Each structure stands twice: as structure tokens, then as C-alpha cells.
Amino acid sequence: MSPESKIDELVAWMCDGAPPSADGRQIVTQICTRLNEAGIPVDLYRLFLFTLHPLIRGRRLQWTKDEGTVIAEADFALFETDQWHENPIPHVIKTRRSLRRRLIDADCPHDFRIIEELIEAGFTDYMIQPVIYIDGEVHTMSWTTRHPDGFSQFAIDSLERIRAPLTRLVESYILRLNAANIISTYVGRNAGEQVLSGQIKRGDAEEISAIILFADLKSYTKLSNEKPASEVLDTLNQYYDALAEPIGKHQGEILKFMGDGLLAIFPVDDQNSQELGARCKGAHQAIRDAHAGFSVKGAGFRTALHLGRLHFGNIGASNRLDFTAIGPAVNLAARLLGAASELNTDDVCSQAIAELLPERTEFLSDVLLKGFPENQPVYQIS
């Protein structure tokens, strides 16, 4: 098959959606491999994408013959540095035109920091292209070779030819990635995966067993009434940061922020005693780590743990849903948090948790919790 026919085949494959993989790394690897098979000597490919994520501003997919495709992420701080502003990416985004530098030419402009770096690494030719979405948003991708003669005119023409179908693939990939980021940011990772898989009808829910965690800031009403909004928000964010990392580390998921309140679950197989014990210890350690990591002067928080069955899924109005957890076990955990305040202690749990953490819990009192007909034993967690 001629090189031209191989490029025709590559374009047709991309226009067909690059079956069968929907994984960005595999698609990039396939494209670079097929280009080399068509006689286009790509040694380094970089696809730079802006993302919608609270911590990550950009993502780079990089392919080399030795390492295949790897992904690197950049936080917001990178885009304020000289490293970013002296890069050709902002230039190509602004002009919306491809830029080529034949690195082996004596008169090759050294107008970007990367030019020297590529020459020192033995590359001979470099082209960076705009990746322009349907809505006009611009990202970039670059092609680099070590071939002694650089890219031929056929290679340059082929790379320009595949830009449009590759852009549509990239756009589809990043739209799904951004959707996953947004949904996971606002409803949680596992809930987000279920929403993306199609579980979006009101009433779609499953019954699961989980350790339920409620938390709230102490004296929040006083804080919000007496302090400037900026200080209140800063305290809230530090408090949520202190909880979020250890909860995620110990396989929990935050379902909801409610003012100063937090609801999280640690799903568990309650028929597996070993897993149940380990998950319970993980939830307990998450609370300890959160207290250790929260260092706002004069502020603290309370927590309550309970183990039980709950319904996990879509609840709400017909066109405005919430992916959350409901059930008697959730209600009990919430009431336990109120009991912690009444009993003047910070961390409490139910008897179900106390039985799994006997060395870390101490009975406090039987308390009549609102909505429950009988007194419930409340334990302090140390």
C-alpha cells in the first residue's frame, strides 16, 4: 500500500470515530504509529488541551516511540510563568495558524524557548498546529522528528490533512473528559460515573451498605454572623479541604456540602467482615487525619459515624435532580451529629460502629433522637 493510501486509510478511520477504542492514549498511539508506517517520521507528538477542573488547567498527551502515550497535568500556576509565555502554544492559540520551525536550517528562528531544547535533543523539524473546536475554542498539537532531512512536503501536507478529523476526535474526547470532571466535582466520583453511564432518571437508585459520615463546623452561626464573608469562606474551604483528602484516601465519597455540613459515605460489603472492619477503621482514620489537618485558629468540627443500608441515587424534581443518599440509616447518622453537640463532644458514632471499633469508642449515653421512637446509644470516638 502506498503512503498516500495509508494516509487515506488513517483519515477514514478517524472520520469513523477511531474504533474500537474510546481511550485517548490508545487513539494517540494508533495515529502516531500509523503515520510512521506511512513514512511520516514522527518521533514526538504533543497534544495540549485546556480542561474544566477545579485543580487542573491543562492536560498534555505526549507520544514517543520508546514510552508510548503518557499524560501530564498542569495546575493553574503554570499559566502565570515565563515557561508558558515563552512557549509557542499561546502564539498559535492567538493566531489560529500552524507554525513550523525547520530546526536544521541555519536561519531557523530561535523565537521560543522550546526551539533550543528541541535542537539540543537532536530534533530536526517541528510543527505546531491549532486544534480549533466547533465553538471556536483553540487548543494545540505539535509534531517533531529526528529524521536527518526533517519533514518532507508530503509529511507536512499529510499532517495538515489529518488535522480536521483529529480535531473532531480530540473535541469528543475532551468534552467527555470535561463532563466527567464537572460531574465528579459536583456530585462525587462514583455518583458521576453512574450519571455518565445513563443513570439519570428520577427514581434510579440502588440499595447499598455504607458507613455514613456527617460533619459540621462548631459555632458556624456565630462565625458567619460576626466575621466577613471572605473569612467565613476561607474557613469553610480549609475545613472541607481537611476532610476531603482523607475521605478520598480511605475510599469514601463526599455526596453533599450543606452550608457548613458534609455528608459522605464509605460503601462496603457488609457480608465481608474483613472488608467491613478495614473500611470502618479507614473512616475512623479519615476523621483523625481531618482533625490533624484542620488548623484554623479557634475553629473545630464535629463528626458522626453510622453503618447501615441506604438508597443511593436520583431524587428531586422532574427536571432538577440530586444524586444523594436517603434512608433511616442516613437519618440516624444526622441525628447523632446533633447529639454530639448536646453531649459536648466532637466525634460520636452508633452502636453498629462501636462494635467494629471497640478499642476506639466509649459509651456516652442513651439519647432520644428526633424521629426515632426509642433511645439510641451514643458512643464517643477517640
8 Å CB contact between 356 and 307: yes
Based on the structure, what is the number of domains in the chain?
2
And the C-alpha cell for 139?
Answer: 487548543
Are 331 and 372 within one domain?
Answer: yes
Judge if 205 and 160 occupy the same domain.
no
pLDDT at 197: 64
Considering 132, 153, 184, which residue would you say is the last residue of a domain? 184
Distance CA 366, CA 312 (A): 29
224 and 177 part of one domain: no
Q: Which of 142, 158, 184 is at the close of a domain?
A: 184
Same domain, 270 and 361: yes
* Domain coverage including residue 32: 3-184
Task: Going residue by residue through the chain, which has 382 residues, state the pLDDT in tens, using 9 for 90 and above.
Answer: 899 999 999 999 999 988 887 688 888 999 999 999 999 999 999 999 888 766 678 888 999 999 999 988 887 777 778 777 888 999 999 999 999 999 999 999 999 999 999 999 999 999 999 999 988 999 999 999 999 999 999 999 999 999 999 999 888 877 776 666 666 666 666 666 666 666 666 666 788 899 999 999 998 888 888 889 999 899 999 999 999 999 999 999 998 888 899 999 999 987 888 888 899 999 999 999 999 999 888 889 999 999 999 988 777 777 776 778 889 999 999 999 998 888 989 999 999 999 999 999 999 999 888 888 889 899 999 8
Element (H, E) at 234: helix 229-249
Structural domain includes residue 189: no
SS3 for 319-366 is CEEEEEEECHHHHHHHHHHHHHHHCCCCEEECHHHHCCCHHHEEEEEE
The grid coordinates listed for 189 are: 466520583
Whether 146 is covered by a domain: the verdict is: yes
Give a yes or no: residue 10 inside a domain: yes
- CATH code for the domain of 345: 3.30.70.1230
Whole-number Å distance between alpha carbons of 67 and 14: 23
Helix (H, G, I), strand (E, B) or coil at 180: helix
Do 204 and 317 belong together in one domain?
yes
Whether 213 maps to a domain, the answer reads yes
Residues 203 and 142 in one domain: no
pLDDT in the model for residue 189: 62
Asked whether residue 318 falls in the same domain as residue 221, the answer is: yes
- The answer to whether residue 15 is domain-embedded is yes
User: Is the residue at 368 inside a domain?
Assistant: yes
Closest CA to 343 of 374, 304, 372, 296: 304
Per the domain annotation, does 173 fall within a domain? yes
Phi, psi at 137, each rounded to 5°: -65, 140
My answer on whether 68 and 152 are in the same domain is yes
In a domain? residue 190? no
Residue 218 and residue 250 in one domain: yes
Contact partners, residue 93, CB within 8 Å, separation at least 6: 130, 138, 139, 140
Domain boundary residue, one of 161, 184, 207: 184
Residues 248, 272, single domain; the answer is yes
Task: Let me know whether 159 and 213 are in one domain.
Answer: no
Judge whether 322 and 315 are in contact, CB under 8 Å: yes
Residues 71, 90, single domain; the answer is yes
User: Which CATH number goes with the domain that contains 162?
Assistant: 3.30.450.40
